[in-house]
Amino acid sequence: MRRALFVATLISLFALPAVTQEQTTDAKTEAKEPLKAPEGEQHFGQLTDTYAKAALLALRAIEGDGTEPEIIKGEVYINRHTSDAINAADIEATTEQEKSVTALLNRVYSKKLTNNLCRGILQIKHEGKFLTLTKDRRALAAQESMAKDPIAVQMKERENACFGALDTMLRARKYERCQACDKIESDEKPR
């Protein structure tokens, strides 16, 4: 029960605020001239080389991050390595397209953290099935059971599709909407 409350709290903390039409028109009128890439920078499509490299590093950090966020004294703590990689990509962003990719990386990371929390709940659920086994055997049996769990499989497939689409986009240095990243969390939540 405490775990479910913890997950609900974290999901609400990571929820991104909706952007209203007024906010988008205000942002458009505030931008006086478009941001430009540094001189001498090679362009392939709409993303600079330095940004694409930084964004790929951030994507690898997100992809490999299996941690769950922690709340300590009301503060949310996430993996610093991943956060620093995303921030490094943000620093390299010079165009609106690059800033959009950075925002997408942040959303994908938020969804990945949500999935990690769901996987943690599923792990506990599956370990509960094997209480008569020793701790090591219980963990192994739970891991094998998790590999067949439809919720965990769906999350992993969606994450892989999103990561693949982002990787392709960044390697092509061309910004485009990643529909595979719109919904990487599972339709069903663990109970």
| Tokens 């001239």, located at residue | 33
CA-angle at 160, arms to 158 and 161, nearest 5°: 65
List pLDDT tens digits, range 91-137.
999 999 999 999 999 999 999 999 999 999 988 888 888 888 888 88
For residue 132, being part of any structural domain is answered with: yes
pLDDT over 90 (residue 188):
no
Identify the residue with better confidence: 93 or 43: 93
For residue 34, being part of any structural domain is answered with: no
Which DSSP string corresponds to 148-172? Answer: H-HHHHHHHHHHHHHHHHHHHHHHH
For residue 101, being part of any structural domain is answered with: yes
For residue 127, being part of any structural domain is answered with: yes
For residue 157, being part of any structural domain is answered with: yes
The predicted model scores a pTM of 0.72
Q: Domain count for the chain, please give it.
A: 1
For residue 26, being part of any structural domain is answered with: no
